[in-house]
Structure 1
Amino acid sequence: MTSNMNIPIICEWDIVAARQAGRDAARKLSFSIVDQARITTAISELARNIYLYALPGNIILEQIEEQNKIGLKITAVDKGPGIKDIKLALEDGYTTSGGLGAGVPGVKRLMDDFSIDSVVGEGTKITAVKWLKK
């Protein structure tokens, strides 16, 4: 993976495309099978949130290098309604859809670095990084 990969999330099938692109990128960077699964799960959760709550949006995959470390950066960007209470959204069990509420907190747990920026009425940007273990 030499450049950014941008996967638009418009329909449910785009979640599958984003998952596959993430798995392929993780494999090319030589992530372990377990980390490939973590990355794929995180992408699936982020893409599903865009599909359910904030269409349209994008999943952006990017190989990054920092302080002699290689990582895969996943950015989920949307122009949806935004998140009113980020702290609450990061609590396990919190849901607005009646689901398990494992999505965003789960992504945070699965990845090494995590940040979320959201403006109500403008959209949300979630960035998550998994670093390759040497």
Structure 2
Amino acid sequence: MSPLRPARSLGGGDALDIRSEGDVRLLVYRVRALAAGMGFSEVDCTQLATAASELAMNMLKYAGGGRMRWQGVAAGGASGMEIQARDRGPGIADLELAMREHFSSKGTLGLGLPGTRRLMDEFWIDSAPGAGTQVCVRKWR
């Protein structure tokens, strides 16, 4: 899905269609559970859950929903978690602008994407007007 460094799946993940805030709550619970089961610290579990929540809420606000996937991954002797978000919304016309702190096209705080990037070790985004948005993030243990 992304040009991030190659990683192999460790499995244990799942996928969830995001259509409501209830789906976001379920996503957060499941991501946190997998992270804890993989041995992530409480701080890292919270960061992973927060990143998943931010990405899913963005999908609801800007695209009306989408699909989230998460799984354990391994690369270069390290293990971690990967979270993917994909929607078929209107896309982002200016990614550089969207990644700036406090920029929002919907009157929000504008911290979702930049904050998610800060919380994760790897961050990739692809979007274009009319083509939807894909985001892939990873956190390593």
TM-score bin, normalised by smaller chain: over 0.9
5+ unaligned residues in a row in structure 2: which ranges?
1-9
Is residue 43 of structure 2 the alignment partner of residue 55 of structure 1?
no
Partners of 2:97 and 2:128 lie apart in 1 by 15
Question: Which deviates more, 54-63 or 44-53?
Answer: 54-63
Summarize deviations over 1:13-32 as a string: whole Å, max 9, x none: 11101111110111011000
Q: 1:97 deviation in Å?
A: 1.4
Aligned residues with identical type, % of pairs: 37
What SS does the aligned partner of 1:117 have?
A: strand
CA RMSD for the aligned pairs?
1.1
| Superposition pairs of residues 6-85 of structure 1, within 5 angstroms | 6-85=15-94
Question: Which deviates more, 67-76 or 49-58?
Answer: 49-58
Q: 1:121 deviation in Å?
A: 0.5
What SS does the aligned partner of 2:11 have?
A: coil
Partners of 2:105 and 2:60 lie apart in 1 by 14
Partners of 1:76 and 1:58 lie apart in 2 by 6
What SS does the aligned partner of 1:81 have?
A: coil
1:116 matched residue in structure 2: 125
- TM-score of the superposed pair, with normalisation by structure 1: 0.95
What SS does the aligned partner of 2:52 have?
A: helix
Q: 1:64 deviation in Å?
A: 0.6
- TM-score of the superposed pair, with normalisation by structure 2: 0.90
